[in-house]
Structure 1
Amino acid sequence: MKPLLECGCRRMLLEGPTTPAEAALLAVLAPLGRIYGGLMALRRWVYAQGLLPQVTPSVPLISVGNLLAGGTGKTPLVSYLVDLLQRHGYRVAVLSRGYGASGLRRDSVRLVCAGNGPLLTAEQAGDEPYLLARRHPAAVVVSAPRRSAGLRCALAQGPIDLVLLDDGFQHLALRRDLDLVLLDARRPLATGRVLPAGLLREAPAALRHADLLLLTRCPLPLPPPLALLPERPQVRFGQQLASHMQDLAGACRPLHDCRGGRVVAFAGIAAPEDFFAALRQQGIVPAATLALADHSRYDRAQLERIQALAAGADWLLTTEKDAVKLRATDFDRPCYAVPLELVCYDEALLAAPLLTLAEAGRHPTGC
């Protein structure tokens, strides 16, 4: 029941109220949203005035963050940036807060990957850092709620050319050389309201602090640039499911093998309905779907719930982010992860500042 309530609440905050009861609830939450938005604006001002300390890294640092609370495709985009930089020969570190990692305290620092593949499990690292470490075994990946401590750990792993601060737009304790902010092109500001009356972490005015806006989930034909900040460069991304799927033991097969079979799909991400819709676009219509909370834990009760839903199914499909927390022995039928692929329509605009910074930071010395 809890995941369903969470998904229902997210729909209301993303699209607005559809019933008198929801309208009444949002009327109560609206003043709280204005207060929270004001506090976040004050916090930015305090940092800008130097009244709160900031750590200045010895290597270039790029923040990749959101204005919206989840659901913009940040993890696939961080993976895309790591791949872009590695293709040009740069050594990259990723700093994550490690959300969802078991037993992670505020002062914890966990080295997920030192450049030779994952050192921890998904449960220890957090699903997103583990997925990045598995996709990019040559990268350095650190989970640390205090990102400055994570930075020290990353730089201790040898020469780093550039650091990516995952989910960093509101993490102001680290100075950055470039602020990349993701917006869903379909609904960039949702309802325009700040938490808890909406899904924005800050008021829309905070976007003036972004250097580049990354518009995800752009449809074809490509839309024109957003009018809300015409002076900011805007990089457009599309996304699609890969043409293959991978079972929990690592074996791949074509995604179209599922067509015609009885498919049950489940996802514990910020926007699970987007995953189910993407399957339908590929001609795979699930007989049943299960939307779980973001960063969902797969304990025995959760696995039994999926097993019951999958009775009579030929295939179980899920996301890569969910699959890293599952084992091949968890189910009595095939379970496959379907990767998400990004297409950048303005790569030159994005690559130029990234590669310039990475070149400036090549072979740093010290921390």
Structure 2
Amino acid sequence: MGSDNATGVFAFLLLVLSILYSAIITMRVRFYQWGFFRTHRLPCKVISIGNITLGGAGKTPMTIYLAKTLYRLGFRVVILSRGYKGQLEQSCSIITDGKTVFMDPETAGDEPYLMAEKLTGIPIVVGKNRYECGQLAIKKFTPQVILLDDAFQHLSLYRDINIVLMDFTRPLGNRHVLPRGLLREPAPNLDRSDLVILTRADIDHSHSLTVPYVGNKPVFRCRHEPDQLMHTDDNGSIVLFSPDKLTNQKVYAFSGIANNYDFVQMLSGLQYQITGSSGFDDHHNYSDLDLETIAANAQNSSAKFIVTTEKDYVKIVKKINWPLPMFALGIKLNFGLDSQKFESIIQSKMVT
């Protein structure tokens, strides 16, 4: 993870490493552009959803949003995901055929599993080699469009649309490449994008947007909003509630995502009374001790409920006997005034 607070010799060493890393990444991109490295094509439309920085710009909610949109428009859609930290990352495996989920979160990876639980009629295939996974998807499901989750840097597979997400509050981090900053590659490489989406943005007012290095390509804004609360009842069934179910209730929050602070702020915005919170690294693999500590902290804080993210919930809800009722708060995207325009551009690119 990049460092904003480094000073002195340490900052200089990080900067030198960033320059070296930037040079390596730039040459890798050029080798693909010059044809020294092969880019494979699939016989259908391919849309990549990715970002240029580390951290949670909202790729998974965007993938879900776009998959639902394309499915509603009548397209056969398949999602390809790396399955980061899942047991199938080095293989190509079908997580769901759009009807049945075949894997648990530990096997599939937390994000593919969450997408499989939230999407109906949309198969999901996981594996590091997106081309091989794409071939499997073509053979099994004959999709009209494949969505690549977190694939802006995955240059070995051709895509028809390159969507890049950027956090509106800090689109380029501190503008340094790893390890001095948060950029996965130099910012000028944004010129590979076809469409940019600024997440966590103000969508209530229309104003012009300028993003460096993207020229006249479309730029949209969206924000993350609370969706439904999810809870597992005594019969093991998932029950959904409005987020206001816990308004003014004492809640202990925990999460293992890229921006844990934002999650707690969202709960506070719903008028939940936060009695305490715990934050972990993104994709954290919770041990029983972690979960027992969370449960004890929640009880000691006088909370009446525990709230986490959907991504964390699916991994841990059945691991221990929780002493307090646990809920997961879902996230949805709202494009506001840009909603119809975004859909029209995606639809137009699907027929060209």
TM-score under structure 1 length normalisation: 0.88
Q: 1:310 aligns with which of 285, 292, 298?
A: 298
Distance 1:323 1:62, change over 3 A: same
Secondary structure class of the residue paired with 1:339? strand
Q: Which residue of structure 2 lines up, in the alignment, with residue 326 of structure 1?
A: 316
* Post-superposition offset of 1:256: 2.4
* Post-superposition offset of 1:353: 3.9
Deviation digits for residues 13-32 of structure 1 (CA, Å, limit 9, x no counterpart):
3xx32xxx645432220110
Q: Which residue of structure 1 lines up, in the alignment, with residue 286 of structure 2?
A: 298
Q: Which residue of structure 2 lines up, in the alignment, with residue 247 of structure 1?
A: 231
Distance 1:359 1:138, change over 3 A: farther
Q: In the aligned structure 2, how far is the partner of 1:357 from the partner of 1:113?
A: 27
Q: Which residue of structure 1 lines up, in the alignment, with residue 275 of structure 2?
A: 287
Q: 1:338 aligns with which of 301, 319, 329?
A: 329
* Amino acid across the alignment from 2:42: P
Q: 1:117 aligns with which of 97, 100, 105?
A: 100
Q: 2:146 aligns with which of 144, 163, 171?
A: 163
CA contact (8 A) 1:118 1:137 kept: no
Q: Which residue of structure 2 lines up, in the alignment, with residue 260 of structure 1?
A: 248
Distance 1:330 1:90, change over 3 A: farther
Alignment of 1:63-102 (within 5 A): 63-102=48-87
* Post-superposition offset of 1:184: 0.6
CA contact (8 A) 2:222 2:333 kept: yes
CA contact (8 A) 1:117 1:138 kept: no
CA contact (8 A) 2:203 2:335 kept: no
Q: Which residue of structure 2 lines up, in the alignment, with residue 50 of structure 1?
A: 35
Alignment of 1:350-361 (within 5 A): 350-359=342-351
Paired residues in the alignment total 342
* Amino acid across the alignment from 2:82: R
Deviation digits for residues 256-287 of structure 1 (CA, Å, limit 9, x no counterpart):
23233321000111111111111111111311
Q: In the aligned structure 1, how far is the partner of 2:344 from the partner of 2:140?
A: 27
Q: 2:135 aligns with which of 128, 136, 152?
A: 152
Deviation digits for residues 136-182 of structure 1 (CA, Å, limit 9, x no counterpart):
13111011011111111111222211001111110000011111000
* Amino acid across the alignment from 2:240: C
Structure 1 residues not aligned, in runs of 5+: 1-8, 361-367
Q: In the aligned structure 2, how far is the partner of 1:105 from the partner of 1:126?
A: 8
Q: Which residue of structure 2 lines up, in the alignment, with residue 6 of structure 1?
A: none
Secondary structure class of the residue paired with 1:338? strand
Q: Which residue of structure 2 lines up, in the alignment, with residue 224 of structure 1?
A: 208
* Post-superposition offset of 1:338: 0.6
Q: Which residue of structure 1 lines up, in the alignment, with residue 219 of structure 2?
A: 234
Q: Which residue of structure 2 lines up, in the alignment, with residue 4 of structure 1?
A: none
Q: In the aligned structure 1, how far is the partner of 2:100 from the partner of 2:162?
A: 28
* Amino acid across the alignment from 1:316: I
Q: In the aligned structure 2, how far is the partner of 1:58 from the partner of 1:205?
A: 30
Secondary structure class of the residue paired with 2:241? strand
* Amino acid across the alignment from 1:133: A
* Post-superposition offset of 1:101: 0.4
* Amino acid across the alignment from 2:114: L
Which region of structure 1 is more displaced relative to structure 2, 213-222 or 158-167? 213-222
Q: In the aligned structure 2, how far is the partner of 1:95 from the partner of 1:256?
A: 34
Distance 1:350 1:257, change over 3 A: closer
Structure 2 residues not aligned, in runs of 5+: none
Q: In the aligned structure 2, how far is the partner of 1:234 from the partner of 1:348?
A: 14
CA contact (8 A) 2:42 2:135 kept: no
* Amino acid across the alignment from 2:209: P
Q: Which residue of structure 2 lines up, in the alignment, with residue 31 of structure 1?
A: 16
How large is the Cα RMSD of the aligned pairs?
1.8
CA contact (8 A) 2:83 2:89 kept: no
Q: 1:174 aligns with which of 149, 157, 171?
A: 157
* Post-superposition offset of 1:105: 5.2
Q: Which has the higher contact order (CA 8 A, sep 6+)?
A: 1
TM-score under structure 2 length normalisation: 0.92
**2:41 corresponds to 1:41:** no
Q: In the aligned structure 2, how far is the partner of 1:221 from the partner of 1:286?
A: 28
CA contact (8 A) 1:117 1:136 kept: no
Q: Identity of paired residues, percent?
A: 31
